[in-house]
Amino acid sequence: MTRKFEGDRLLVATHNKGKLSEISDIIAPFGVSVVGAAEMDLPEPDETEDTFVGNARIKAHAAAQATGLPALSDDSGITIDALDGAPGVYTADWAETGNGRDFMMAMARANDEINDKGPDAPRTAQFRCTLVIAWPDGHDEVFEGVMPGSLTWPIRGADGFGYDPMFIPEGLDLTCAQMSKDEKNRISHRGRAVTQFIQGCFGG
């Protein structure tokens, strides 16, 4: 039995503005206001696990312990078939410059590494999202969502965040950076995981 979320304010344990904005938009119709980790001055814990769920658990439990509130975290990334699932949990690391994150550089690396595999290398990939809600007593619940698609080059579109400008969801022609937030949320890994969270923790 999934534990229910009681309350009207949800702490989302992320400093990523793109994630926070997408999660807030999906949750808004349920009458819950969302507060982010930056607003609460929460530190960013080190993500020392090698799975999405492991790192999502670290972030959710750290925030629940620090605030005494139930906390929802998101660990997500992209898995590229031609690269045996890389960058996976290291998706954000590919953008690290030592002086902030550069997603243009990260996307160029993904494209170069696929090209290095030869002309027949598949360009298929998946965006993956694991959400964990943790309560201060140590209980947690896990929800997962996947969006299959392919990686295009050159990149297209100015909306979204991260690797959105190179990712075309399966069955569509637009990249995620060429869609409205609503269109992306309806089909995305995060949209699917948040919908499951709502069904599990708010459903009857």
Q: Indicate the residue among 163 and 197 with the shorter CB distance to ligand IMP.
A: 163
As measured in angstroms, the least distance from the Cβ of 104 to ligand IMP is: 12
As measured in angstroms, the least distance from the Cβ of 108 to ligand IMP is: 14
Q: Peptide bond before 154: cis, by omega within 30 degrees of 0?
A: yes
As measured in angstroms, the least distance from the Cβ of 9 to ligand IMP is: 23
Interacting residues with ligand IMP (CB under 6 A) = 16, 47, 75-77, 91-92, 127, 160-164, 176, 188, 190
As measured in angstroms, the least distance from the Cβ of 121 to ligand IMP is: 21
Q: Indicate the residue among 7 and 39 with the shorter CB distance to ligand IMP.
A: 39
- The neighbour count for residue 4, using CB atoms within 10 Å, is 12
Question: Among 127, 108, 129, 114, which residue's Cα sits nearest to residue 167?
Answer: 127
Is 102 among the residues known to form the active site?
no
Q: Indicate the residue among 3 and 108 with the shorter CB distance to ligand IMP.
A: 108
Q: Indicate the residue among 3 and 124 with the shorter CB distance to ligand IMP.
A: 124
Q: Which residue is nearest to ligand IMP (CB)?
A: 162
Choosing from 74, 75, 140, 164, which is the catalytic residue? Answer: 75
Active-site positions? 75
